[in-house]
Amino acid sequence: MQLIDTHTHLYSETFDEDRGAMIQRALSCGVTDFFIPAIDSTYTERMFALEKKYPNRMHLMTGVHPTHVKENYKEELNHVASLLKKRSFCALGEIGIDLYWDKTFLKEQQEAFDLQIQWAKEHKLPFVIHCRDAFNEVFEVLDGHDSKDLRGIFHCFTGTLDQAKQALSYNLKLGIGGVVTFKNGKIDQFLNQIPLSEIVLETDAPYLAPVPFRGKRNESSYIQEVASKVAEVYNLPFAEIAAVTSKNALAIFK
């Protein structure tokens, strides 16, 4: 049975002690592919090392995470632009807007997000959106693009049903992770009103571990817990959830 983790930071320092064993646990439970979002230039070499060790399993993105859009954001964007000229990537990500931690660089975040969407379109790549406390701001940037030119994932979707429908209107899939298992997560209350064809599964490891691991370090093998909860929400067999969401993921990333 195939499972795909569409969003996992396996290069994180958190895994330095047991990365190999942690990845093996995921492979053993049927995870065949790992899609690896970028944060900033300081992690590029770690990402390349991961890809070199598992060349057919790890699929790298490039991009500047919105919380890392600071005073030097133009240097970071130049780094992404240079990488796009040198080699291929599976997506631009994770990109977007985050107003939870800091609102200081909202203008720069909007500029970086918009520019990276342009690059995704130019390179015919999907993009992966990070949005925290910023649905209106993210939608405003997306409104500046023709939805037929867009393809990607609204990562770690935590919004309302209306916001889910709006995200889908931009030709995006919803990335569903550990939050679907949280009692206060709320998305489990309406997720079955979204066609299964419109969602993909993710862990966001090492963050947002699903129940029963909530509060601990997340890892890619825990995508089983996410898939189990999604199966419960849709009242469908686990195998069907795994098959459909894997097909969805591969269609996005080509």
pLDDT at 175: 98
Tokens of 95: 């990109």
Averaged over 15-19, what is the pLDDT?
98
pLDDT at 118: 97
pLDDT at 254: 84
Q: Considering the entire predicted model, what is its pTM?
A: 0.97
Tokens of 238: 């686990």
Residue in the block written with tokens 């370090």? 217
pLDDT at 115 over 90: yes
Sequential DSSP letters for 189-242? GTGGGS-GGGEEE---BTSSPPTTSTTS---GGGHHHHHHHHHHHHT--HHHHH
Query: How far is CA 229 from its chain centroid?
Result: 19
Q: Count CB-CB contacts under 10 A for residue 43.
A: 19
- The 10s digit of each residue's pLDDT in 35-59 is 999 999 999 999 999 999 999 999 9
- Name the band, by pLDDT with cuts 50, 70 and 90, for residue 1: confident
Task: Show me where the domains of the chain are located.
Answer: 3-253
Answer for the pair 231, 238: CB distance below 8 angstroms, yes or no. yes
pLDDT at 57: 97
Averaged over 105-124, what is the pLDDT?
97
pLDDT at 140: 97
Q: Which CATH superfamily is domain 3-253 in?
A: Metal-dependent hydrolases (3.20.20.140)
pLDDT at 43: 98
- Name the band, by pLDDT with cuts 50, 70 and 90, for residue 239: very high
